[in-house]
Amino acid sequence: MPTNGPISKSFASFTDFSSFDSLDFRARRFHFIRMDATWPVLLIVIAFPLAWFGINSLVMLLLSFAGWSGLAEKYRFNGEMPEPNYRFVTVWTSIFGRYNRGMHISLTPRGLIVRPFILFRVAHPALLLPWEMLKSAKQQTFLFYSFAELKFDDGQRKIEIHAPLRILEDTYVKAKRIA
């Protein structure tokens, strides 16, 4: 069998053990290992983010039924979104609607704007909670962590927000605390 030239290396030459070369065999073996090892990397790089986005979207859609959709009917904010004053705060809308460290809040003269972190905005529009709904604003401590607890209530729905303590010094919240 002729062995000069790239075309002469056919499938038959791979099975011909008379011209066995150990270096050539190792190169072929590692070539196939590299090819076999690429599919898990592709699976992780492509499939994992798609699966995470799909599962996250489903969970956020289900969470929206636990209180956010009812709030959005009445308090949806459609205006120009101001820069958040506080990031990654906790908002509780119900027993099941707990958004731990997943919300950004902005303080405006009209009220408090609550919007989810960008990855969790599926079925969760921004809300404008008017200052008239603020029933209490006080300092709370859990273990060694102190935070501000803002309770909003319109008679039908209750919202509890856990934010950094410095929010209690804001002029809008301070005015409501004195009144």
Beta strands in 75-169 (DSSP E): 86-92, 98-107, 111-116, 127-130, 134-142, 145-153, 158-163
pLDDT at 113 over 90: yes
61 pLDDT band (50/70/90 cuts)? Answer: confident
Say which residue, 50 or 99, is predicted with more confidence.
50
Architecture of domain 62-178: Roll (2.30)
Give the residue-averaged pLDDT of 54-75.
80
pTM over 0.75: no
174 pLDDT band (50/70/90 cuts)? Answer: confident
Domain ranges of the chain: 62-178
Q: What is the predicted pLDDT for the residue at 119?
A: 76
Instruction: Tell me how far apart the alpha carbons of residues 88 and 104 are, in angstroms, rounded to a whole number.
Output: 6
pLDDT at 26 over 60: no
Give the residue-averaged pLDDT of 4-13.
51
A 10 A CB-CB count for 165 gives 11
Give the residue-averaged pLDDT of 141-170.
89
Give the residue-averaged pLDDT of 6-27.
52
pLDDT at 150 over 60: yes
- Sheet of 158-163: strand order equals 127-130, 111-116, 98-107, 86-92, 158-163, 145-153, 134-142
Instruction: Tell me how far apart the alpha carbons of residues 172 and 105 are, in angstroms, rounded to a whole number.
Output: 13
Q: What is the predicted pLDDT for the residue at 24?
A: 54
The proportion of the chain whose per-residue pLDDT surpasses 90, expressed as a percent, equals 23
pLDDT at 130 over 80: yes
Backbone angles phi, psi at 136, to 5 degrees: -155, 150
pLDDT at 3 over 70: no
